[in-house]
A and B are shown apart, each in its own frame.
Chain A
Amino acid sequence: MSFVTGVGLTPFGKHEGSSSLDLMSKAAQLALDDAGLKRTEIDGILCGYSTVSPHIMLATVFAEHFGIRPSYAHAVQVGGATGFAMTMLAHHLVVSGVCRNVLVVAGENRLTGQSRDASIQALAQVGHPDYEVPLGPTIPAYYGLVASRYMHEYGVTEQDLAEFAVLMRAHASTHPGAQFHDPITVADVMGSKPVAMPLKLLDCCPVSDGGAAFVISRERTGEAGVRIRGCAQAHTHQHVTAAPALGELGAEISIARAREATGLAISDVRYAAIYDSFTITLAMLLEDLGLAQRGEASARARSGHFSRDGALPLNTHGGLLSYGHCGVGGAMAHLVEAHLQMTGRAAARQVRDASIALLHGDGGVLSSHVSMFLERVR
């Protein structure tokens, strides 16, 4: 078995003067303190990447900087799915006996360390260098293409998508660490600047500075335990040009594998932590995962289904859309929040029952998927 024994998360937004290593270190220290573990007890390190400070050996750069000499260490790169992919790997390293305590860490000064154009341009390079990038696409354009098709096939409207921006902002307003706190309306989203239609500014997550970390351990270190029940991945393509048809995307494959690995059903899920780089990402993933019927996710959002007091609380920290997105650490914040909810430490955001959580991450343009079930154990 493996347990998430500690979590750490910085506020997201501007951390003027902080490097990627600074933000990773801050989050890592918080996670170690939360787990009650010392540096010498960490024998594995998995880290993400930094677009601001790329390095071919970031895990050992971090290990040296932070003061750990692990017996296992390397970086992982699967875009937005990296955080949960590292968690899955840490789970297997712990279960197979390779490591006792794996520190999973990511952080990036993506907002203040480079211009927004540089961020957008760096990220657009996930496109095909010969067949896509010369056309001047951006990440919002890749998702805008997907959105246009999804809306066409399932009758989803721009107003429907806007519901998720409103919901994530409402959740972020109750988290002091979130990048954005001011409430917004569907009209605000509809009236925000067009970025890559049908996506407008408030349909898109921001660029943030921030860091997140957790410790995955063979044994529990505290009273309340959060166990990784099981996880699975699916990778169907890299470029949106080569993506399979809607309804055959990786989220459906990875959730089916994760359900089989755990014996759990979607009806068992009490808390959802779902990747939300854009409103369309969240709407599609909720439906691909079976947390809503096709074309019905936004109606559920509107009715309060995914709210803190609703039947299935979703991203109660505000998600990438409003807590913020600092790269790999962005989706890791979803797991940190799930852990706080499962251990009854989410303060004003606490939900009634987070005994079983479903986490899902997406990298590229719905290219790489990781589905994961967490379970509270007493």
Chain B
Amino acid sequence: MSDRLADWTKGEQAITYQACSSCGHVQYFHRDFCAACGIKGPRVARASGKGKVYATSLVCRAATPGTRAHVPYNILLVDCAEGFRMMAHGDNDLVIGDEVIVGFKPFAGKLVPFFVKIQEGDPSFGGGRETEPGTGILGLAC
């Protein structure tokens, strides 16, 4: 598809989601139909990359050599501003309720979304930004 929007699942620095033009349902897992009403061809849109932390789990034991090199890493569920929830990585000191914005970091051979806290009063966050690898606070619990 030539008019495809960039997306992190394809190795690009962006998050996309789908919105149904018929019922308004918003979905993160892409399909060629709306999972709520079944109408074909939901609209694909690029997300702002802003959201709020819904849940966190700092992974201290990984299962593959590729992921073990990154331990500990913080897995998040983030409620994104556009109304969908996604799984991502983020700084190790993030807590539930934190307002966050996405960047992207290499992880086990892929580029993955990595959220950091939005600093209060910082107007510079207009979209995604690239974070330096290895800036997360390590060793909080492991």
Q: Is chain B found bound to chain A in the same assembly? A: yes
A37 in the interface, Cβ–Cβ < 8 Å? Answer: no
Q: How far is the CA of A169 from the CA of B70 in the complex (A)?
A: 33
Please tell me which stretch of B38-46, B54-62, B119-127 contacts chain A, meaning at least 4 of its Cβ atoms lie within 8 angstroms of it: B54-62
Contact mask for chain B residues 70-94; partner A; CB cutoff 8 A; 1 contact, 0 none: 1011011100000001111100000
Say yes or no: A149 contacts B96, CB within 8 Å. yes
Given A131-B29, A194-B142, A241-B28, A141 and B77 touching (CB < 8 A)? no
Say yes or no: A241 contacts B96, CB within 8 Å. no
Chain A residue contacts of B88, Cβ below 8 A: 135
Q: Which of B54, B70, B108 contacts A134 (CB 8 A)?
A: B108
Given A130-B9, A131-B9, A241-B86, A148 and B29 touching (CB < 8 A)? no
Q: Which of A117, A134, A197, A240 contacts B58 (CB 8 A)?
A: A197
Chain A residue contacts of B85, Cβ below 8 A: 241-242
Q: How far is the CA of A148 from the CA of B61 in the complex (A)?
A: 17
Q: Give the A interface residue count (CB, 8 A).
A: 34
28 residue pairs A–B, Cβ–Cβ below 8 Å: A120-B63, A128-B87, A131-B9, A131-B28, A131-B29, A134-B9, A134-B110, A135-B75, A135-B87, A135-B112, A136-B62, A136-B75, A137-B57, A140-B57, A140-B61, A144-B57, A145-B56, A145-B57, A194-B58, A194-B60, A196-B59, A196-B60, A196-B61, A197-B56, A197-B60, A197-B141, A240-B77, A241-B29
Q: Give me the interface of B with A, judged by CB distance under 8 Å.
A: 9, 28-29, 54-64, 66-67, 70, 72-73, 75-77, 85-89, 96-97, 107-108, 110, 112, 141-142
Closest 10 A-B residue pairs measured CB to CB? Answer: A144-B57, A136-B67, A120-B63, A194-B60, A197-B58, A145-B55, A149-B55, A121-B63, A141-B57, A152-B96
